[in-house]
Amino acid sequence: MEAKFQPESLMMTHGYKPELSEGAIKPPIFQTSTFTFKTAEEGKSFFEVAYGLREKEVDEKMGLIYSRINNPNLEILEDRLCLWDKAYQCAVFESGMSAISTVLLEFLKPGDLLLYSQPVYGGTEHFINYFLKSIGVMSLGFRPNQSEEEIIRMIEASGFASNLALIYIETPANPTNELIDIRLCKTVADHFSTDDKQVLLAVDNTFMGPIWSHPLEHGADLIVYSATKYIGGHSDLIAGAVLGNNEVMQRIKVLRTFLGNMASPNTCWLLLRSLETLKVRMEQQAHNAQEVARFLTNHPQVSSLYYLGTIDSNHPAYEVYQRQYTCAGAMIAFEIKGTEKEAFTFLNNLKLIKLAVSLGSTESLIQHPATMTHAGVAPELKKAIGITERLIRISIGVENHADLINDLSTAFDAVKKTNK
């Protein structure tokens, strides 16, 4: 019956039976560390499945044991998140970086090679180039404008092509909105896979998911989210999520159990609340972004605009945009004319738009990537990937778009007055 409905219609009911919770229309918060077993035999049976000592029987669900392993709020949330991306399984974490680092730790070991897109979120870049490097994991970065042939030659030239274990991409790129072709990356992964080893492809879909893009449909093995962003959507929680097929997700969930980095029942409950309005929020944010981008296009104080809706139809990225996305999203980056001084003057004169990192929330947020989210990126790499002192990133919220434009206009005027 439920299969007939769209995901947005199921965000209020899927995976929850009110009769099991005194008829409560919404799932209560199951704020408990442990769960009682009806019998010792039941406890034994639950642990056999939890620790992989036996396969689950047909239609058998994993029994509740301990909230580090499973919890009703966690299970309902994961079931509902699967609907958007048509994934087999989902694992929710206590933060986006927790989700990212768990994926990288599970599928990479000392001596392995990681191929990843640049730019990526600053925290991901730091984890790859500092922590993974310290434990002997090698990495190669590639740019969005590199062809399949160029990427393959680069991997082969490294001398470690046989060590390639994982391709990790973030598309659109944070903060420049550059696009990575998921299908191209899958072809590269297949090229270096063998009968004994599959090279996996993981996609950070935080900027566009789970409404505007579905990477599993384009060949990804894993989807990664900072659920703090659009999925949470209210700047009041920290969370992450990973989705994929049963085989890879079983490995992720086992490592999560032993790292103990799953989301708490309270965080899961807040995310369940957020999922009910996810589509309407993201649709409003996308509409507002379209209007703001229209204002910024050809603005005399803007030297460059990075927004998916303004990609030229003759640009190679346009075909990728049309194939991978259903919408231009709600993230905008632009370069203001001048230097860091002009950028900071602009940021300091906004009233409605909040100067803060993060994205995807109901309120519009703006920040300076070079000195904030990507402050830890090496200067030469910042220059190479286009993170300049003039670059500003905006996450568009659900406010009235005319008010947002007026706020931006006032800030531009302040820059003009300062430079007189």
- Domain at 2-32+67-108+159-169+200-275: CATH architecture: 3-Layer(aba) Sandwich (3.40)
Do you know the residue count of the chain? 420
Question: Cα 103 vs. chain centroid, distance in angstroms?
Answer: 13
Tell me which H or E stretch contains 85: helix 72-85
Q: Is 229 a catalytic residue?
A: yes
Q: What is the CA radius of gyration of the chain?
A: 22
Question: What percentage of the chain carries pLDDT values higher than 90?
Answer: 92
pLDDT in tens, 12-48: 999 999 999 999 999 999 999 999 999 999 999 999 9
- Mean model confidence pLDDT for the chain: 95
Give the list of residues 6+ apart from residue 357 with CB closer than 8 angstroms, or none.
365, 367, 372, 373
The CATH H-level (homologous superfamily) assignment of domain 278-418 is Aspartate Aminotransferase, domain 1 (3.90.1150.10)
Gap between the Cα atoms of 382 and 133, Å rounded: 19
Cα dihedral 374, 378, 380, 381 sign? negative
3-state secondary structure of 200: strand
pLDDT in tens, 62-74: 899 999 999 999 9
Per-residue exposure over 92-131, b if at least 16 CB sit within 10 Å of its own CB, e if not:
bbbbbbbbbbbbbbbbbeeebbbbbbbbbbbbbbbbbbee
Question: What percentage of the chain carries pLDDT values higher than 70?
Answer: 99
| pLDDT over 70 at 260, yes or no | yes
Gap between the Cα atoms of 275 and 377, Å rounded: 33
Task: Return the pLDDT at 3.
Answer: 55
pLDDT band at 353 (very low <50, low <70, confident <90, very high): very high
| pLDDT over 80 at 237, yes or no | yes
Tell me which H or E stretch contains 365: strand 365-367
The catalytic position among 80, 229, 281, 393 is 229
Q: Is 204 a catalytic residue?
A: yes
| pLDDT over 80 at 92, yes or no | yes
pLDDT in tens, 328-347: 999 999 999 999 999 999 99
Determine the residue type at 353.
I
The catalytic position among 181, 204, 221, 407 is 204
pLDDT band at 2 (very low <50, low <70, confident <90, very high): very low
The arrangement of strands across the sheet holding 222-226 comes to: 89-93, 240-244, 222-226, 200-204, 164-170, 113-117, 138-142
pLDDT band at 57 (very low <50, low <70, confident <90, very high): confident
Cα dihedral 17, 22, 25, 28 sign? negative
The catalytic position among 121, 168, 307, 325 is 121
Question: Cα 264 vs. chain centroid, distance in angstroms?
Answer: 19
Q: What are the C-alpha distances in Å from 367 to residues 26, 27, 89, 334? A: 36, 36, 34, 11
Q: Is 130 a catalytic residue?
A: no
- pTM value is 0.94
**Closest-CA residue to 305 (of 316, 315, 292):** 292
pLDDT band at 1 (very low <50, low <70, confident <90, very high): very low
Q: Are 76 and 270 in contact (CB under 8 A)?
A: no
Determine the residue type at 36.
T
The catalytic position among 68, 279, 337, 354 is 68
Q: Is 121 a catalytic residue?
A: yes
Token pair listed for 322: 């049309």
Task: Return the pLDDT at 60.
Answer: 85
| pLDDT over 90 at 239, yes or no | yes
Domain boundaries, given as residue ranges, for the chain = 2-32+67-108+159-169+200-275, 278-418
| pLDDT over 80 at 404, yes or no | yes
| pLDDT over 90 at 49, yes or no | no
Would the CATH topology of 2-32+67-108+159-169+200-275 be identical to that of 278-418?
no
Gap between the Cα atoms of 72 and 78, Å rounded: 10
pLDDT in tens, 105-134: 999 999 999 999 999 998 999 999 999 999
pLDDT band at 177 (very low <50, low <70, confident <90, very high): very high
Token pair listed for 109: 């070991």
